[in-house]
Structure 1
Amino acid sequence: MSVEKMVKVEESFQRALELKKMVDRWRNSNTQCLWQMTLSQRRNPYVTLRMQDAMVRELVLANKQLLMVRQAALNQLFEKEHRQYQQELNQMGKAFYVERL
């Protein structure tokens, strides 16, 4: 066998070793991924319940906050309309009756 052929065989052998190492790494990572998936599937019902509970609590708080914001906006709108109505009455020379204590 010539030296060139031996070098080529050696290079192909090195590439084969690298490919084998790569396949082994892939196989190990695949096994770990499968193990993690089964582990997460076992824990999944509890995680799902906790997430659902957290979502329900967040929705309740968000609804309360939204209600408060809407009430504040409605109060501002009523005050604005009241002032506008008072100005219109003042321009016509009329006024609201306000009882003073």
Structure 2
Amino acid sequence: MLLKKMVNRWQSSHTHCQWQMTLSQRRDPYAALRMQDAMQQELALSNKQLLLVRQAALHQLFEKEHQQYQLELNQLGKAFYEERL
């Protein structure tokens, strides 16, 4: 859900930037460069956010699999070795 909102926000921002670029190219050539820079910064931030979301999902998957393996080993009367400090 959060990823979908982020993608929708990026798409609307991208559309708005393209629309602004066509208007501003006629008025101010530097405005297009500023808009392009803003788009690049937003894309970099969205890539970082997407990476964090994917890492969190992968971490949850590993935790779920670890718990499943523990349950299966417990049913066989075995367990993981855990060093306690």
TM over 0.5: yes
Query: What residue is the counterpart of 1:7 in the other structure?
Result: none
Across the two proteins, how many residue pairs are aligned to each other? 62
Q: What's the % identity of the aligned pairs?
A: 74
Aligned equivalents of 2:39 and 2:78: distance in 1?
54
Structure 1 position 41, deviation (Å)? 1.1
The answer on 1:85 being equivalent to 2:69 is yes
Shift of 1:40: 5.8
Q: Is 1:74 the counterpart of 2:58 in the alignment?
A: yes
User: Per-residue deviation at 1:65?
Assistant: 0.3
Distance 2:67 2:58 in 1: 14
| In structure 1, distance between residues paired with 2:54 and 2:81 | 29
Per-residue CA distance 1:41-63 (angstroms, 9 max, x = gap): 141x2121011000000000000
Which residue does 1:95 correspond to in 2?
A: 79
Runs of 4+ in 1 over 2 A off after TM superposition: none
Max Rg structure = 1
CA–CA distance in structure 2, aligned partners of residues 40 and 51 of structure 1: 11
Q: Does 1:62 align with 2:71?
A: no
Q: Pick 1 or 2: higher relative contact order, CA cutoff 8 A, min separation 6.
A: 2
Give, as a single letter, the amino acid of the residue that structure 2 aligns with 1:78.
F
2:26 is aligned to: 41
SS at match of 1:98: coil
Flag the 1:57–1:84 CA change in 2: closer, same or farther, 3 A: same
Structure 2 contact 25–32 (Cα < 8 Å) conserved = no
**CA separation in 2, counterparts of 1:60 and 1:47?**
20
